Structures are given as C-alpha cells and as structure tokens.
Amino acid sequence: MYHKYEKKQLSSMTQKFTKITLLILLSAITIGFAQEGEKRHLPIIDVHVHAMKVNPAFASDMCPWFLTSMPGGDPLDEAPTFMTADCAHPLKAAKSDKEFQDALISTMKRLNMTIVASGDASVIRSWQKAAEPGRVIPSIGISNSEAMSVVAFTDSLSSGFYKVMGEVAPQYQGLSPSDMSLDPYFAAAEKLNIPVGIHMGTGGNGTINITNPKYRASLGNPFLLEDMLARHPKLKVWVMHAGYPLIDEMVALMGANAYVYVDIAGMIWSYPLEEVNNYIKRLVQAGFGKRIMYGTDLMIWPELLETSIGVIENATYLSFDQKRDILFNNAVRFFRLDESKYK
C-alpha cells in the first residue's frame, strides 16, 4: 500500500515537474519569439516606387541586370527584346494587385521599410491601409502641362495627401526639365516646400527609338536642370536614376548645387552590375555619399526590393555608415522626415 502510494505520489510529482518544465520551456520559447519579433531590421527608405494596377498580359518574369548583353539588331528584322527570364533566378512578376500588395507589405514589414510611391491613387490608398501608418508616402507625377492644370496640381498638393512631386519625366516627352511649360509646377512645389524627383538619364533599354520616338538620350543630361534650379533656388530636387550614364555632368551639377540629391533606382537592377557599382562608387568617391538615396523603380516584381537592397549591402567599397546613409539617413534629411517614427 505504502509502496503503491509512494509510487503514485512520485509519478504525480514527476508529472507536475514535467508540466512545470514544459511551461517554463514554452514561455522561454514564446519570450524568445517576442524578443525576436521586436528586434526590427534597420530602417530602409525606398524613394522610388510605382503604384500601378497589375496587367497580367505584361506581367512577365525578369532577370535582374538584363542589360548586361545588349542584343545586336537590324531595322529590317523584328524588334529586339531586351528583357529575359533566362537566368538561374528570374524575379517573378505578380499576377494580381492583391498578390503584389501582399508581397510588398510583408517585405516592407520584414525589412522595416518606408516607400515614396507615385502612380495610381487608388493603389496608393490601398497600400496605405495595409501598411503601418506613415510608411507609404504619396507622390504626384506630372510630365507635361497637358496632363494637369497648374491649379489642379496645386490643389492636389495643398490637400495634404501628396507629400512629394514625382516622377517628373519630361525626357520621355522630348522636353528639357527647364522647359518653361513646366515652370509653374516647379514654382508651386517650391512654394509649398514639396521635394521633386525628376527622371534624368536612363531609359529605353536599347530600344527606345522603336517604342517612344519622342525620347531623347540628350535630354537626360543633368546640366539641363541648371536653368530651372537657378529660377527656383529653394526647390529641393533629386535626380532619379542619378543621371546615368552621365557621371561627370552629374558630379558637376551636384558640386554646383548644394541641394541636389540623386536616387539609384532602375539602374541598380537593370544595367550590368559592375557598371552600377562603378557608378555609385564614383558618386561616393566624388564626395556625394550624403546625397545618394536608395530607390528601386519597383513596378511588378516584389523581389526587386531584396535584389536592389542586396547591391548596397554587398558593396565592398561602402562602409557601414555609407550604406546606412544611402539606405536611410539621406532620405530622412531630404524629405524632412521625423527619424524617430521610422526606427
């Protein structure tokens, strides 16, 4: 009897002990996860995102740095294609708005990201609802005076929804950014303290003469900004795509204008990787590490975010501080953001 009782007590004690151990273990694991969850990735700002409805007909997969080998061609042959999916790890194109948004928002959360987004206002609003507050900054794009009157443009900025003006892409319209038809819009942005992003340089992917006959490579020359900048000394301008490939003109313009920044969007994942790194390296080498901002030109491939961030993270020519400047600090300063809200 006694023996039995002892055994029973012993087994109940063992059970209790096991339960307690399990509880301790479980709570330790839970705390571990909670701590892991609270430890956020260092913040990143992508200053160049396009909000658009996904068109499944054009949603093809893409190999990054696809311009590494420009196709040969002849005007009597079929037009060359420049984008391929023939590589080890092509980036998958999202096939629906929901698929794209879900992937974008989850990457933004995981990498502690904020984006400046231009394009379809309904898409921007939907992203804002899904993201943490303040993480999607709306930008309004205008590239010629026919797209929107100056009054409507000023109203859109004054309403408070739009915080940024961009992407302004006069180059695709055959216009210089200093063309007087755009001047009242820049004047409005200057008056309202709105930063402006202007497309300069890249474009066309080796076939622009076939797809957009108004485009001129020469209109991507950063020097074409000078007259406009002189007329609007308080305007904060960033040159999208960093004026690639006109590095000397870009460096000279930044040297002459204290407030001109650049982003490295588009070029960072399309041109040959070594060329991209050389270009960024040259900007830093020339002393402009505090005026380079990270951007993607994100359209339909969610993984483009990681691909592009990887270029900066893996750059052997950049120090940790220089990487943080490009990925975050420079954009905080340029867009006059409250840094404490993005940690």
Instruction: Catalog residues that contact Zn ion under the rule CB under 5 A.
Output: 199, 240
Alpha carbon distance 236, 165 (integer Å): 10
Q: How many CA atoms lie within 13 A of 189 on its CB side?
A: 28
**In whole angstroms, how close is the CB of 207 to Zn ion at the nearest point?**
16
**In whole angstroms, how close is the CB of 240 to Zn ion at the nearest point?**
5
Nearest one of 107, 113, 142, 51 to 331, comparing CA atoms: 113
Choice between 162 and 238, CB closer to Zn ion:
238
Measure Cα distances from 296 to 45, 47, 76, 127, 207 in Å: 10, 8, 35, 17, 21
**In whole angstroms, how close is the CB of 255 to Zn ion at the nearest point?**
23
Choice between 137 and 240, CB closer to Zn ion:
240
Choice between 242 and 311, CB closer to Zn ion:
242
Give the largest CA-CA distance in the chain: 104
Choice between 105 and 200, CB closer to Zn ion:
200
Owner of token pair 């301790």: 24
Choice between 189 and 318, CB closer to Zn ion:
189
Alpha carbon distance 188, 165 (integer Å): 10
Alpha carbon distance 258, 251 (integer Å): 12
Measure Cα distances from 94 to 35, 46, 47 in Å: 32, 19, 21
Choice between 162 and 342, CB closer to Zn ion:
162
**In whole angstroms, how close is the CB of 171 to Zn ion at the nearest point?**
8
Choice between 334 and 342, CB closer to Zn ion:
334
Q: Determine the residue with CB nearest Zn ion.
A: 199
φ/ψ of 244, rounded to 5, equals -55, 135
**In whole angstroms, how close is the CB of 242 to Zn ion at the nearest point?**
11
**In whole angstroms, how close is the CB of 38 to Zn ion at the nearest point?**
37
**In whole angstroms, how close is the CB of 261 to Zn ion at the nearest point?**
15
Measure Cα distances from 273 to 135, 263, 278 in Å: 29, 16, 9
